[in-house]
Chain A
C-alpha cells in the first residue's frame, strides 16, 4: 500500500505536486491519470525517495522508501527506461541492479525471459528500440519480485503486442495481491487496465474514483426527443421516473429512460415524435461531472478559473484517447 499525506513538492514558487493525499491499495491496478506535466512523474520520484518532499510525506507499506532495508525486494519501479548506459549489455545492466539489491544472480535470466529479452541478453542496450528499453525497464522492476510495483507510462513506445503484454502483466500482478500503481496521460488506457484512478491536474488531486464509476457515468446517456407536444410528453415521461429538461420549447433532453421506452410511452399517449435519438455522454462530460464537486470546493483558491482548468484537463485526457 502506498500512502501520501499532504505530499507537496515546490520548485521555487511553482508547486509541481500540491498537497496530494491518497492511498493506493493492494490487489487492484490503480491508475494515476493526468496530462503531461501534471506532476505524475514527480509524485513517483517522491515515492521512490529520489526527490524529497517540500511538505507532507509518502510511505510504502508504512515506511518511507529511503528507510527500507531491501527496497528492491519490496518495490519495483519503471521510470525513465531510456536512462541506461548504452555500452552495457542487457544482462550486465540487470546484473548490477540484482547485486545492489541482494538478489540472486539466476533471477536475471528469469526476468530477461519474462520480458522477452532472453535473445538479446548479451547485446548492448544502446542499440535497443524504445519498446525494448521499455521491456528492459520492466525486467528491472521485476528483479526483486516485489509486492509493490510502480510503472510510469509503461505503454509508451510499445507495439500493440507489447501493450497487450504489459496490460495482462499488470492485471495478473494485481490478481496476485500486489499493489500496482500505473501512470498514464490517456484516459482510454486507464479504462483498459485500471480498477481505480487517481486523477491529477497541475499537481492537485482532482478525482479519486473507481473506473466502474467513470464507465457508469460515461455510459449515462441521454435521449434527445423533439415533438410538437413536448410539454405534454414531458409530464408522461416524468411519471415514469425520467428526468426531463427542456432545450427549446419542442425539444427535450431525457435521462433515466432509454429511447425504446420513450417511444412506447409516446405511442401509448398518441403523441407524434419528430425525432428520437439516443446521445452518449462523452468521456469528457463524465469526467467533468465527476470532478465538478472538487472544482467547486476549490473555487477561489487559484487565480485562474478552476472550472476552466478542469475542463482543459478533461479535454486533454479524453481528447488524446482514440
Chain B
C-alpha cells in the first residue's frame, strides 16, 4: 500500500521490445491459462483413446465379420478413427487463443503494450502452429501405434511405420493437417473476433470439401474443390486415390496449402492493422 515509486528512468535492465520479447510474452499468455492445457490433454487423450477403443472393438468382433469386411480391413485407416476429435479440437484451440482476447476485451491491453499488431499476430501464429505440431506429433503416431498393438494382440493384420506409404501418411497428418487445421481457424478468428463464429465457420469451411465432393459435379471438383486446403492435404497424404482431374499432384498440392495459409494470415493482418481494436 505504501507506494514507493522508483525514479523516473530506473529501467536500466529493460530492453527495447522486438519479435523475441513478443514471442516470449505470447508464450506466457498461452501457457498461463488452464484452457490451453485442457485442450491439449483432450486432443491427445481423445484421439488416442477413441482409436484404441474402436481398434479394441474391431479386435473383439473381427471373427464375426463377413468375408468382404474382413478382406477390406485396412489396419492403417482403422487405426486413425480418433482423427476427427484431434482436428476439431485443433480448430477450437486456435480459435480460442485469439477470440478469448476479444471476448475479455484484453486485446486492447495487448495492443497498448505492443502496438505492432502484425508482430503480435505472427508471434501467436508461430506458437499456435508449433504447439499444434507438437501435439500432433504425439497424437498421430500415438493413435497408430496403440491401435497396431491392439490389432496384433487380436491377430489382425497390422501396418508398419517403416512402410514408406504409412510413414508418409502419418507425417502428412501431423504436419500439413497440424498447420491447416490451426492456422486457418486462427486467421478466421482474427477476422470474426468471436470464438463461436470462428469455430463454426472454420469447421464448415475446412470440412466443406469432404462433405461436398461426393455431391457436386466433377467440374466443381476439378476447378474449385481441389484447390481448397483440406483437399490438398488429403492429396498429400496419399489416402485418396489420385485421380489427376479432381486431385492435384504433390508439388501443386503443397503450393496450394502454403498459399492458403499465407493468404489467410495476410488477410487477417491486413484487416487487423486497419480496424479499430
How many interface residues does A have (CB within 8 Å)?
Answer: 54
Closest to A85 in B: B104
Partner of B111, one of A49, A88, A99, A168: A49
Q: Decide: A97 and B9 in contact? CB cutoff 8 A.
A: no
Q: Decide: A83 and B17 in contact? CB cutoff 8 A.
A: no
Q: Decide: B3 and A100 in contact? CB cutoff 8 A.
A: no
Partner of B115, one of A65, A73, A104: A65
0/1 interface trace, chain A 95-135, chain B, CB 8 Å (1 if under): 11101111110110010011010000000000000000000
Known: A71-B113, A83-B105. A96 touches B11 (CB 8 A): no
Chain B residues within 8 Å of A49, by CB: 111, 115
How far, in whole Å, are A251 and B109 apart by their CA atoms in the complex? 60
Q: Decide: B14 and A71 in contact? CB cutoff 8 A.
A: no
Taking each of A77, A79, A99, A176, which has the highest tally of chain B beta carbons within 10 Å of its own beta carbon?
A99
Within B1-54, the residues touching A (CB, 8 Å) are: 1, 3-11, 13-18, 21-22, 24-26, 28-29, 32-35
0/1 interface trace, chain A 68-90, chain B, CB 8 Å (1 if under): 11111100010110111111110
Taking each of B6, B34, B104, which has the highest tally of chain A beta carbons within 10 Å of its own beta carbon?
B104
Within the complex, what minimum Cβ distance (angstroms) separates A304 from chain B?
27
Q: Decide: B17 and A70 in contact? CB cutoff 8 A.
A: yes
The interface-forming segment of A17-25, A139-147, A206-214 is A139-147
Within A41-88, the residues touching B (CB, 8 Å) are: 45, 48-52, 65-66, 68-73, 77, 79-80, 82-88
Task: Let me know if A169 is at the binding interface, CB within 8 A.
Answer: yes
Within A148-178, the residues touching B (CB, 8 Å) are: 165, 168-169, 172-173, 176-178
Task: Let me know if B167 is at the binding interface, CB within 8 A.
Answer: no
Task: Let me know if B241 is at the binding interface, CB within 8 A.
Answer: no
Q: Decide: A50 and B112 in contact? CB cutoff 8 A.
A: yes
Partner of A100, one of B6, B10, B22: B22
Known: A50-B111, A83-B109, A165-B1. A110 touches B13 (CB 8 A): no
Number of A-B contacts (CB under 8 A): 133
How many interface residues does B have (CB within 8 Å)?
Answer: 44
How far, in whole Å, are A48 and B109 apart by their CA atoms in the complex? 10
Task: Let me know if B243 is at the binding interface, CB within 8 A.
Answer: no
Within the complex, what minimum Cβ distance (angstroms) separates B103 from chain A?
9
Task: Let me know if A92 is at the binding interface, CB within 8 A.
Answer: yes
Q: Decide: B276 and A87 in contact? CB cutoff 8 A.
A: no
Partner of A102, one of B14, B28, B29, B274: B14
Within B90-131, the residues touching A (CB, 8 Å) are: 100-101, 104-106, 108-116
Known: A101-B17, A140-B109. A73 touches B25 (CB 8 A): no
How far, in whole Å, are A69 and B17 apart by their CA atoms in the complex? 7
Task: Let me know if B277 is at the binding interface, CB within 8 A.
Answer: yes
How far, in whole Å, are A86 and B33 apart by their CA atoms in the complex? 9
Within the complex, what minimum Cβ distance (angstroms) separates B105 from chain A?
4
Q: Decide: B11 and A103 in contact? CB cutoff 8 A.
A: yes
Chain B residues within 8 Å of A88, by CB: 29, 32-33
Q: Decide: B104 and A96 in contact? CB cutoff 8 A.
A: no
Within the complex, what minimum Cβ distance (angstroms) separates B262 from chain A?
24
Closest to A98 in B: B25
How far, in whole Å, are A88 and B21 apart by their CA atoms in the complex? 19
Chain B residues within 8 Å of A71, by CB: 112-115
Known: A100-B25, A100-B114, A104-B14. A165 touches B3 (CB 8 A): yes
How far, in whole Å, are A16 and B22 apart by their CA atoms in the complex? 33
0/1 interface trace, chain A 226-259, chain B, CB 8 Å (1 if under): 0000000000000000000000000000000000
Within the complex, what minimum Cβ distance (angstroms) separates A301 from chain B?
27
Q: Residues on A close to B: CB < 8 A?
A: 45, 48-52, 65-66, 68-73, 77, 79-80, 82-89, 92, 95-97, 99-104, 106-107, 110, 113-114, 116, 140, 142, 144-145, 147, 165, 168-169, 172-173, 176-178
A-B contact pairs, 23 of them (CB 8 A): A45-B108, A49-B111, A49-B115, A50-B276, A52-B274, A65-B115, A69-B17, A70-B14, A70-B17, A79-B108, A84-B109, A85-B29, A87-B34, A88-B32, A97-B25, A99-B24, A99-B28, A102-B14, A102-B15, A145-B5, A145-B8, A176-B5, A176-B7
Q: Residues on B close to A: CB < 8 A?
A: 1, 3-11, 13-18, 21-22, 24-26, 28-29, 32-35, 100-101, 104-106, 108-116, 274, 276-277
Given contacts A113-B4, A168-B3, 17 further A-B contacts (CB under 8 A): A50-B108, A50-B276, A65-B115, A71-B113, A73-B11, A88-B29, A97-B25, A99-B28, A101-B21, A103-B14, A110-B6, A114-B3, A140-B113, A145-B9, A145-B10, A165-B1, A178-B8
